[in-house]
């Protein structure tokens, strides 16, 4: 699976898990069986395991917004991108931002791409 496709699937999974928080541990245990090194699994487990820290970093880079006001689509995408930027050193920051903006354009409203780009630019 290409990294772009893995990101899209990871976004869909993390978005779904945001609604079912009690199932996160079960889900992570299920997907990690035999797939520890896949890009998809690295993103999922990384975001889940660093969720509080990622949300703190997002909160620090929002202007006139709180993380609770963010749409789940944008919040999930920004979490993924910040995880990649902060913890996956093998991925150029520019790639992580571009991929996040593309996901936002595909799954968010018409302003989502610009919003995600602005938050991530401030984070960098």
Q: Nearest 5°: phi and psi at 81?
A: -65, -45
* pLDDT tens, position by position, 92-109: 999 999 999 999 999 999
pTM assigned to the model: 0.86
- Tell me the domains of the chain and their CATH numbers: 3-123 (1.10.940.10)
* pLDDT tens, position by position, 51-67: 999 999 999 888 887 88
* pLDDT tens, position by position, 9-43: 899 889 988 877 666 666 665 555 555 558 888 89
Question: DSSP assignment of the chain, as one string?
Answer: --HHHHHHHHHHHHHHHHH-GGGHHHHHHHHHTT-TT-HHHHHHHHHHHTHHHHHHHHHHT-SS--GGGS-HHHHHHHHHHHHHHHH-TTS-HHHHHHHHHHHHHHHS-TTHHHHHHHHHHHH-
- Give the per-residue pLDDT at 16: 85
């Amino acid at each position: 699976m290409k990294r772009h496709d893995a990101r899209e699937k990871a976004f869909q999974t993390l978005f779904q898990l945001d609604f079912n928080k009690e199932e996160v541990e079960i889900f992570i245990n299920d997907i990690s069986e035999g797939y520890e090194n896949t890009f998809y699994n690295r993103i999922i487990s990384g975001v889940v395991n660093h969720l509080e820290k990622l949300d703190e970093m997002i909160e620090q880079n929002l202007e006139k917004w709180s993380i609770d006001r963010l749409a789940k689509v944008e919040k999930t995408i920004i979490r993924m991108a910040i995880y990649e930027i902060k913890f996956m050193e093998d991925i150029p920051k520019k790639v992580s931002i571009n991929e996040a903006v593309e996901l936002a354009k595909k799954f968010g409203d018409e302003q989502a791409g610009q919003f995600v780009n602005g938050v991530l630019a401030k984070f960098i």
